Amino acid sequence: MALVAPSLLASNFLRLEEVCKMLNESDADWLHLDVMDGRFVPNISFGLPVIAQIRTATTKTCDVHLMIEEPERYAEAFKEAGANRLTVHYEACRHLHRNIQQIKSLGMAAGVALNPATPVDLLSDVLQDIDTVLIMSVNPGFGGQEFIPHTFQKIRNLKRMIHDRGLKTLIEIDGGITLENSAFIVKAGADVLVAGSTVFHSKDPKATIHTLKYSD
């Protein structure tokens, strides 16, 4: 059974309170919140004020994914806004270990995201310090893209690294997850499924979340 983290980037921003209410009543485990700065990725999404409002509307875990440059400048502010889990990109962190220490010192679970072209073995020296590795299965910045098939091998490689070292690090997959491929992604070793368009563009989001959660 996978954890499901619907990505609010694909939701109707005019109805965020209704969206949060629906997710509260669903089988969703986390709310995935994508923050983009227009520099690290070619898009701008939402930031601290929106996350602070979402926090007031849900008791579920707020899983904040920072697709931004210099994430260390904002970690404390995201904690104050209500983030439970904070994920930074390997490619955006000049001093990754320091970033991880900072996130944990603030009382949040620490995640590291990898772009499609970044090998998982680059995390070898910090894997024991990470709560979650987020593997991007599309190029970051926009929703609605197709799942990159090579991601399956990355998941298997990372799962082997985690198993061989006796760690409990979660593997989170973000991008192109559908009802058709979710079971294969979980079978490869994924623990958390981030789904945006698949959930929010479906006729019955709650039923879709339930199906994703029991992908096996």
**CATH number (domain holding residue 13):** 3.20.20.70
pTM for this prediction: 0.96
Nearest in space to 4 (alpha carbons), one of 204, 201, 198: 198
Annotation says 63 is catalytic:
no
Give residues with Cβ within 8 angstroms of 140, minimum separation 6.
Answer: 36, 40, 41, 67, 89, 113, 115, 175
The terminus-to-terminus CA distance of the chain in angstroms comes to 7
Nearest in space to 50 (alpha carbons), one of 66, 33, 63: 33
| Active-site option among 34, 37, 63, 191 | 34
pLDDT at residue 67, rounded to an integer = 96
Place of tokens 């485990």: 29
Per-residue tokens: 187: 């079978």
| Active-site option among 29, 37, 174, 191 | 174
pLDDT at residue 200, rounded to an integer = 96
Residues in the chain: 216
Domain count of the chain?
1
Structural domain that includes position 192: 3-213
d(CA 60, CA 118): 30
Low-confidence ranges of the chain (pLDDT < 50): none
Contact 95, 76 (CB under 8 A): no
Annotation says 34 is catalytic:
yes
